[in-house]
Amino acid sequence: MEIRDLNRRKCFLPAALVIQALLIVMLSCTAPAEETLPSDLTKIPLDSVLGNGKPTLSEFGWRTCTPCKAMKPIMEEVAVQYKGRLNVVIVEIYEHDDLARRHSIRAIPTQIFFGKDGKELTRHEGYLSKERIQAILSLKELING
């Protein structure tokens, strides 16, 4: 066996291990289909979900607002956690200024919690953590369990 053949084998083994490790990492980071994030929450019309018999959490904001950007992943997590039991909607106020006026939005982000009947129960202005959202949902008895 020549020295060139030995050098090729020495290089091939580490490269194969690196590729195998990368594949394992990539596959382990993929979420199962039932836990994937919902499609864009800004595409869900608020008026259509307020009448469907489920409670609704709506956030009014704008994509360039820093606290609104921080709220988006929280809203997506809440949408996944309460899938089927809670409507979660993000309203871009400059695209839906009629909704912003109708709901008297004075600051962004503003989160409004609506009951099953579509009526506003409470609201919060500013950043709201996932834990606080969960506490409000429990306190207002919007979500059972």
In sequence order, which ranges of the chain are alpha helices (DSSP H)? Answer: 3-28, 46-49, 66-81, 97-102, 130-139
Dihedral (Cα; 35, 137, 145, 85), 10-degree rounding: -50
122 closest CA partner among 98, 141, 99: 141
Residue reference for tokens 């594949």? 23
The catalytically annotated residue of 44, 49, 50, 68 is 68
- Concerning whether 68 is annotated as a catalytic residue, the answer is yes
Q: Which residues pair with 111 in a beta bridge?
A: 59, 124
- Concerning whether 65 is annotated as a catalytic residue, the answer is yes
Q: Is 116 helix (H, G, I), strand (E, B) or coil?
A: coil
Give the amino acid at 46: L
Q: Is 90 helix (H, G, I), strand (E, B) or coil?
A: strand
The catalytically annotated residue of 65, 70, 121, 143 is 65
Q: Which residues pair with 114 in a beta bridge?
A: 56, 120
- Catalytic residue annotation: 65, 68
